């Protein structure tokens, strides 16, 4: 199997969140050509397994990608999947169709020389918008360990901070901007809230680092330049660490928000036969530094310590199933979601090899052969 060609096919199969079917078809076709029997679950996730035994390792990643933006802003077409000077370009090259292709290649290699246990491939939907695919799969899967292919420059990772999306709504009263005294302008109140957030106290975690509180979006309605608005809203992206209570963070924001309605919105998402509704709270994830599976994986890769992602992933939902979730993926995470997204071909090939080694080592440890 040619990992680069498969990754290129996946990039050309545009798959925004909620529209992953083109990428799923590519993965199904590639898996069938390798002799596997893939299936779509009720949520539209692609899944297949090889081997038997009491222990299972999961290779997993997501099929959906964020929008590419204006094609003219890209040095190479965002959905072209072109290889230029040893790098594969396009939306999803890093986040994370390159990893899916490398995992598929690893499954082919493992099938040629089966390890002592079961290995499952899982490509999920809607990671970028709340993790519906992984949340659904975690309800029924019982893997002992999982390798999540989010980009890490092929370094082993063990966790990340969580995220809370907090909104504050300020009500105003419409009026002509030439007679502002006839209404009530909510924007000064919103401005005072933004100023107060500058001094908002955040926690510090010894391993995940500091929490952060970042206003990211402001809107007033109606969108008119000569009207005192009737509503002003601000969104705050709060990255929290273990030990912080999301509800307590929300209450502290309410104390400085004046008369605003401060809340965490809920999102309803659907895919295939599955509909889920969940608040916009995304948990942190952290595998203990001394965990035997993590230590075995680090020794296998000759990596002194595991890294920390600075973004959120599906790891917490997968971990809820009981799996120990480690991370490793090809590509520079700083290129994800940008118009410069690309991954070196050499990293794709190396990721394939590393996935094979990690699966074998983890199964050995699980079987007590450490």
Beta-carbon contacts of residue 364 (< 8 Å; ≥ 6 apart): 116, 296, 370
| Residue 146: per-residue pLDDT | 98
Contact 104, 23 (CB under 8 A): no
Cβ–Cβ < 8 Å for 349, 331: no
Is the model's pTM score more than 0.85?
yes
Q: Which two tokens stand for residue 129?
A: 């918008």
Q: How far apart are CA 193 and CA 333, in angstroms?
A: 32
Rounded Cα distance, 160 and 298, in Å = 18
Pairing of strands 56-62, 145-148: parallel
Pairing of strands 324-327, 145-148: parallel
User: Over 128-143, what HEC string results?
Assistant: HHCCHHHHHHHCCCCC
Q: What is the pLDDT along the chain (370 residues), one digit of tens a residue?
A: 999 999 999 999 999 999 999 999 999 999 999 999 999 999 999 999 999 999 999 999 999 999 999 999 999 999 999 999 999 999 999 999 999 999 999 999 999 999 999 999 999 999 999 999 999 999 999 999 999 999 999 999 999 999 999 999 999 999 999 999 999 999 999 999 999 999 999 999 999 999 999 999 999 999 999 999 999 999 999 999 999 999 999 999 999 999 999 999 999 999 999 999 999 999 999 999 999 999 999 999 999 999 999 999 999 999 999 999 999 999 999 999 999 999 999 999 999 999 999 999 999 999 986 5
What is the set of active-site residues? 64, 127
Residue 119 is predicted with a pLDDT of 98
Residue 368 has what pLDDT? 87
pLDDT for residue 369: 60
The partner residues of 116 in beta bridges, in order of sequence, read none
What secondary structure, in 3-state letters, does the chain show? Answer: CCHHHHHHHHHHCCCECCCCHHHHHHHHHHHHHCCCCCEECCCCCEEEEECCCCCEEEEEEECCECCCCCHHHCCCCCCCCCEECCEEECCCHHHHHHHHHHHHHHHHHHHHCCCCCEEEEEEECCHHHCCHHHHHHHCCCCCCEEEECCCCCCCCECEECEEEEEEEEEECECEECCCHHHCECCHHHHHHHHHHHCCCCCCEECCCEECEEEEEEEEEECCCCCEECCEEEEEEEEEECCCCCHHHHHHHHHHHCCCCEEECCEEEEEECCEEEEEECEECCEECCCCCHHHHHHHHHHCCCCCECCCCCCCHHHHHCCCCEEEECCCCCHHHCCCCCCEEEHHHHHHHHHHHHHHHHHHHHHHCCCC
Q: Packing angle between helix 21-33 and helix 98-112, nearest 10 degrees?
A: 20
Contact status, residue 65 vs residue 92, Cβ threshold 8 Å: yes
Burial 169-178 (b: 16+ CB within 10 A, else e): bbebebbeee
Contacts for 38 with CB less than 8 Å, ≥ 6 apart = 27, 28, 31, 32, 46, 47, 48, 121
Q: Which residue reads 């297949």 in tokens?
A: 48
Q: What is the reported pLDDT for 63? A: 98
CB atoms within 10 A of CB 26: 26
């Amino acid at each position: 199997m040619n990992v680069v060609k498969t990754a290129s096919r996946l990039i050309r199969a545009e798959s925004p969140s909620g529209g992953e079917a083109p990428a799923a078809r590519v993965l199904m076709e590639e898996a069938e050509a390798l002799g596997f029997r893939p299936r779509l679950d009720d949520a539209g996730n692609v899944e297949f397994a090889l081997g038997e035994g009491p222990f299972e390792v999961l290779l997993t990643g997501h099929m959906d990608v964020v929008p590419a933006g204006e094609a003219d802003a890209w040095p190479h077409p965002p959905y072209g999947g072109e290889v230029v000077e040893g790098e594969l370009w396009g939306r999803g090259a890093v986040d994370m169709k390159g990893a899916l292709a490398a995992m598929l290649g690893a499954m082919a290699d493992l099938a040629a020389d089966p390890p002592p246990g079961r290995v499952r491939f899982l490509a999920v939907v809607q990671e970028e918008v709340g993790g519906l695919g992984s949340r659904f799969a975690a309800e029924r899967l019982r893997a002992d360990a999982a390798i999540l292919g989010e980009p890490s420059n092929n370094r082993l990772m063990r966790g990340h901070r969580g995220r809370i999306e907090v909104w504050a709504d300020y009500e105003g009263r419409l009026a002509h901007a030439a007679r502002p005294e006839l209404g009530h302008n909510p924007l000064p109140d919103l401005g005072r809230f933004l100023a107060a957030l500058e001094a908002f106290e955040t926690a510090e975690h010894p391993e995940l680092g500091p929490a952060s509180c970042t206003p990211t979006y402001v809107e007033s309605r109606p969108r008119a330049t000569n009207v005192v608005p009737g509503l002003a809203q601000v969104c705050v992206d709060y990255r929290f660490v273990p030990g912080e209570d999301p509800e307590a963070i929300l209450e502290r924001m309410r104390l400085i928000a004046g008369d605003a309605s401060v809340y965490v919105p809920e999102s309803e998402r659907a895919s295939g036969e599955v509909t889920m509704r969940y608040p916009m709270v995304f948990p942190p994830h952290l595998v203990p530094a001394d965990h035997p599976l993590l230590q075995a994986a680090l020794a296998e890769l000759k990596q002194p310590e595991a890294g920390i992602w600075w973004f959120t992933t599906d790891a917490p939902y997968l971990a809820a199933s009981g799996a120990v979730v480690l991370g490793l993926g090809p590509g520079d995470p700083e290129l994800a979601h940008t118009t410069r997204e690309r991954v070196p071909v050499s990293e794709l090939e190396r990721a394939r090899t590393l996935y094979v080694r990690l699966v074998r080592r983890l199964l050995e440890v699980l079987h007590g052969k450490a």
